[in-house]
Chain A
């Protein structure tokens, strides 16, 4: 127990990928753990080899670096450069000839429409993610309880919405919601309901874009939760059953705690993607009616491309970064905390 801090320190200095060097180090740690008195001797022995080992490691990391270089370059080119460039754009005036610092942001803060977009993006993302998670959770349970033989085909079918490119599936939804020839309204008319103005009424339009987003995103949650469910040991449920737990207690005290990290991470991922959603809103409503369905991305496009005010559009889209960063910090901090508890 006394040696534990030393061991930890050594483990930290280990390269992430397993190498001959690191395995020999690990062996050394094991030895050190067992033979307490010889700890000093082991360390001096390894010192002698260090120079050549370091060279070997150096060579391997160089190779590794070169192997990852294409990816690094790709990320630099397609992620880093556009990100830095959009920050640069956001600091220019409308005609992109003058540096205005935070001028675009202070301008936005005084616009009512901007705050409406912020509010709507938050409502959209939070509601959609909540329902995606809920639906995913419920459906994952259903699928989990299907006998293993027929499960694959259900899993495959349920993943379909997530696999179809959203621009295409949203077009199908557009036809279903079509103002004048809605298939939904036609069906509802048999029950004496409607016609509902799906995309023309502000509340229904918000409902519709969220609905399509939930339809599209729920399978992702379903598959993640299904994987998490499968990793929960059956013994826990058996023990709970012996203790007389009902289904709700099993979910609340076993399933949910065991799935916490997966739930947190999927929520974060989905929050980021949903916040930045563009295609669904663009195709269904273009932000209307009366701007009530605009999100950051669609409004940024409207302002930046359609309104030829690229710096302002860049500022609008950059505003997502702090909001998502705060969400990420909260969610990931929770993941770490729970990880340590376990």
Chain B
């Protein structure tokens, strides 16, 4: 048996060549040649909506020969937030992890910049709104890619019949299917009058005053429509301003017309309020309507999702985007970026929106007139104005424009609803403001 001897030079040359080949050709087409990718997606409320994500990922994985694993993580009881915190701390876990609103900023140090993914996507799908930029960008660096699944606007969902009967407002005429809103008279004052009329008629507006996100989001939009900021964009405390005082005065009037137990409401309470047929309006994404469709069809067919009323400083709607973040400790960043681009293609976005029955909202300007929203029902077109197709309201998040790390504290400590409640329960205006100022000082920690 002849045996050729390998010289040292040959060995070095062969090693160098094979290393170079390995480095320069990561996408070799073999079964799973491009490595593994592990993904943590938000577990969708809407039954079977996760299937769209699974199918899209699989489609990409088969094409790119990447072995993928997906975990669907619920946001119930903050499970997804706990996972984000744990993985950031352990510096290991999923490659891509979906995170809600404030989390990209909270863990910005551990996230891979995604400008090379976002810039082409914006060119292709249209601009993203300011809230997405505010929550998803830090110092010009994109911390995450706005995820369509889970992103939502918490605007009004009104009862067509009750609003017409008790408040004399035709919400369908104000927000017609296929046309721009005729909502010039839909102001905070009209809203207050309608709240009073509906309360007197026995179907009060279902707006919570608790510490969970729905209550805080409403408070945020109302404060913003008066131009009230507790902390401004520079990080200065601006609690003791006329705008904040006006917002509190307004809230006090509104609270008088809300259910007396609103201070203990959580995110499920307003849904129950609408579905049980007790209220004329709630501020929520169409999940309550979707449940009503199943459990109380006679209520669902009277629901109309539309825009927020405008205040002295504009019309603001609470918007809560989700992001797909890529950990800086991920071992397969290139594959992850390729997947994120795939998930943000118009065709993928359309699938997400359809699978969620119109609940999910893309962040891009060109993607707000998909046919799902025009066709969903009953009543047909109830979701047409949900994605803000005519840009007639500013999508914002409570506590903005404070620097996100401070705003996150204001948001989760529910400082806005607490202020409103304190003042409405008889505390002096200046005492409430002093309390809020003290709270905000505490939120300045870095």
Contacts and interface: CB of A to CB of B under 8 A. Distances in A.
Q: Is the interface of A mostly helix, strand, loop or mixed?
A: loop
Nearest to A197: B261
Interface residues of A, number: 34
Interface string B412-429: 111000100110000000
Interface residues of B, number: 42
Among B78, B82, B413, B421: residue with most chain A CB under 10 A: B413
A201 B263 CA distance: 8
Interface stretch (B3-11, B111-119, B266-274): B266-274
A36 to B, nearest CB: 67
Given A94-B446, A302-B412, A308-B106, A180 B261 contact: yes
A107 B445 contact: yes
Nearest to B410: A307
A289 B210 contact: yes
Given A200-B261, A200-B263, A302-B412, A111 B442 contact: yes
Interface string A85-126: 000000001111100000000010011110000000000000
B408 A179 contact: no
Interface in A170-214: 179-181, 197-201, 205
A161 B123 CA distance: 60
A110 B81 CA distance: 28
A111 B435 CA distance: 11
A200 B262 contact: yes
Interface in A290-315: 290-291, 302, 305-310, 312
Q: Is the interface of B mostly helix, strand, loop or mixed?
A: helix
Contacts of B264: 179, 197-200, 205, 285, 288-289
Contact of A290 (B109, B273, B421): B421
A95 B446 contact: yes
A200 B260 contact: yes
B103 A308 contact: yes
A287 interface: yes
B129 interface: no
Given A307-B413, A309-B445, A286 B261 contact: no
B438 A289 contact: no
A94 B106 CA distance: 10
Contact of A199 (B261, B408, B413, B446): B261
B269 A179 contact: yes
B85 A305 contact: yes
B446 A288 contact: no
Nearest to B107: A308
B265 interface: yes
B187 interface: no
Contacts of A93: 445-446
Interface string B384-423: 0000000000000000000001001100111000100110
B211 A310 contact: no
Interface string B238-262: 0000000000000000000001111
A200 to B, nearest CB: 4
Given A107-B445, A113-B439, A200-B264, A286 B413 contact: no
A53 B259 CA distance: 79
Contacts of B446: 93-95
Given A95-B109, A305-B81, A312 B211 contact: no
Contacts of B278: 180
A285 B89 CA distance: 29
B102 interface: yes
B85 A289 contact: no
B212 interface: yes
Nearest to B215: A288
B282 to A, nearest CB: 12
Contacts of B211: 286-289
Contacts of A110: 442
A288 B409 contact: no
Interface in B128-144: none
A184 B405 CA distance: 42
A94 B262 CA distance: 33
A312 B446 CA distance: 11
A179 B209 CA distance: 12
A305 B445 CA distance: 15
A184 B102 CA distance: 39
Contact of B412 (A96, A97, A197, A306): A306
B299 to A, nearest CB: 15
Contacts of B435: 112
Contacts of B260: 197, 200
A201 B262 CA distance: 10
Contacts of B109: 95, 97
A179 B265 contact: yes
Among B89, B102, B269, B412: residue with most chain A CB under 10 A: B412
A291 B211 CA distance: 9
Contacts of B82: 305
A272 to B, nearest CB: 24
A205 B36 CA distance: 50
A306 B85 CA distance: 10
Contacts of A179: 259, 261-262, 264-265, 269
Contact of A306 (B81, B210, B272, B273): B81
A302 B210 CA distance: 14
Contacts of A96: 89
B263 A305 contact: no
Nearest to B108: A95
Contacts of B210: 286, 288-289
Interface in B72-124: 78, 81-82, 85, 89, 102-103, 106-107, 109
Contact of B408 (A198, A291, A307, A310): A307
A223 to B, nearest CB: 31
B261 A308 contact: no
A263 to B, nearest CB: 36
A112 B436 CA distance: 11
Given A112-B438, A307-B413, A309-B445, 4 more contacts: A197-B263, A288-B414, A305-B85, A308-B103
Closest 6 CB pairs of A and B: A179-B261, A200-B264, A308-B106, A199-B264, A289-B263, A200-B261
Interface of B: 78, 81-82, 85, 89, 102-103, 106-107, 109, 209-212, 259-266, 269, 272-273, 276, 278, 405, 408-409, 412-414, 418, 421-422, 435, 438-439, 442, 445-446
16 contacts: A93-B445, A94-B405, A179-B261, A179-B262, A179-B264, A180-B261, A180-B272, A181-B276, A200-B261, A201-B263, A285-B264, A288-B211, A290-B422, A305-B81, A306-B412, A310-B89
